[in-house]
Structure 1
Amino acid sequence: MPPSPRFLLLADVAEILNTSSAQVYALVRRGDLKAAKIGGRGQWRVQADDLETYIQRAFRDAEQFIAEHPFSDEGSDEGSEATEEV
């Protein structure tokens, strides 16, 4: 079995994360996912280790969010906004 590549295309990252290339590009441009711009045409590459770091951080962030916002069955219409008639 060949070793995993060190660098991934944004399309490869999108496939791994099960999202779009545009979403991965947005993660890179916001600085959420570390990447390098290669060559004169500006092709982006993500190191496999940096992707793993991003994934682990995303799990930690989700864990923290869940801890701070416990799920409750009370108020079954939670998430819907109440409207007020004027």
Structure 2
Amino acid sequence: MTADRSDDVTRFLTVGDAAELLKVTPGDVVGLIETGELPAIRVGRPGAWRIERIQLEAYITAMYEETRRRALWEQSDLASIPELSGGRVIWPDRD
């Protein structure tokens, strides 16, 4: 059984590779792994971390979504009620 060599080479990243792609320090990547935010496995002795490329891409996608939602939330905090309702303020009936 032969595997596609290019897939094997690029499937897993080292902590250093992931740090370079994210433009952070290797310590930052290890921190993400230790908190469970970035799934990774230990391989060999002494157990160097390896991050599957697809997991890193999923992490990046999740961070973009979190940033988008945070921006929407912060924008809504700054908006006034008429602004959020399209200029209308509807008062409930007062009996």
Which entry has the higher C-alpha Rg, 1 or 2? 2
- What is the total number of aligned residue pairs between the two structures? 71
1:37 equivalenced with 2:42 (yes/no): yes
Q: Can you give the 5+ residue segments of structure 2 that lack an aligned partner in the other structure? A: 79-95
Structure number with the higher helix fraction is 2
TM-score (structure 1 length as normaliser): 0.76
Identity within the alignment, %: 28
What displacement does 1:64 show?
0.5
| 1:7 matches 2:12 | yes
CA distance in 2, matches of 1:50, 1:34: 6
2:25 maps to a residue whose letter is: S
Taking CA–CA contacts closer than 8 Å with sequence separation of 6 or more, which of the two structures ends up with the larger relative contact order? 1
Whole-angstrom distance in 1 between the partners of 2:52 and 2:14: 9
* Unpaired stretches in structure 1, ≥5 consecutive residues: 73-86
Residue in 2 that maps onto 1:59? 64
Superposition CA RMSD, Å: 1.8
